[in-house]
Amino acid sequence: MRKSIALSILALAAVFLPVLAWQDAPKTERGLDVTRAVTCLEIRDREPVNIDTVFSSQAERVYCYTQLEGGSEPTEIEHVWIHDGEEKARVRLPVRGNPWRTWSSKKLLPSWTGDWKVEIRDASGAVLKTVEFSVTRGGAGAPPSGSETQEQGEPKSE
């Protein structure tokens, strides 16, 4: 009898302790919401231009644009750029307002064709959203070099 009561208490603790921990978590970790996430070829006036999910290997660079809401305190997110399962770049971006928009970019080597994704992660490392795109061989333009950049985020003015 004592054993079944002890097991019942442990089972209840296993169910309710994660809920209580979540309630105590800072709002920036549990309330941050990605309201828009796209890949594009440029950012103009803090907005994505030439939005697409398929890009030429001759593109100068690809951007991942992210718009967030729900954060009440300054925090940061991370863009993790992944090509065919291999991490190519990790870019930390500050989030200092609500709503907030920010972006990072990745220059591509001509040989980096195939499937890509950008994982958008919160400060604790949890994936908030994943944006998938692909790079195909061909197209016009000079061959780009291969490095990541970080861009300054801006609060979105309505």
pLDDT of residue 60: 84
| pLDDT tens-place string over residues 1-10 | 565 655 555 5
* Model pLDDT for residues 92-147, shown as the tens digit of each residue: 999 999 999 999 999 999 899 999 999 999 999 999 999 999 999 976 433 333 33
- List the structure tokens of 122: 């919160």
Length of the chain: 158
Amino acid in the structure at residue 11 = A
Q: How far apart are CA 98 and CA 153, in angstroms?
A: 12
25: which DSSP letter? Answer: S
CA dihedral of 100, 84, 61, 143, whole degrees rounded to 10: 170
pLDDT at 120: 98
Can you tell me which residue has the tokens 């709503």?
99
Instruction: Yes or no: say if 126 and 33 are a contact pair by the CB < 8 Å rule.
Output: no
CA distance 80 to 76: 13
Residue 11, CA distances (Å) to 1, 21, 107 in order = 15, 16, 50
pTM higher than the cut 0.75? no
> Token digits for 95?
């989030």
Q: Give per-residue pLDDT as tens, 5-50.
A: 555 555 545 544 443 343 334 443 558 999 999 999 999 999 999 9
Confidence label for 88 from pLDDT (cuts 50, 70 and 90): very high
Query: Rounded distance, CA 20 to CA 42, Å?
Result: 43
How far apart CA 83 and CA 126 sit, in angstroms, is: 19
Domain ranges (residues) in the chain:
1-26, 31-155
- Provide the CATH topology of domain 31-155: Immunoglobulin-like (2.60.40)
Rounded to the nearest 5°, which phi and psi values hold at 136?
A: -110, 155
Which residue type, as a one-letter code, is found at position 103? W
Instruction: List all residues 6 or more positions away from 89 whose beta carbon is below 8 Å from its beta carbon.
Output: 79, 80, 81, 104, 106, 147, 148
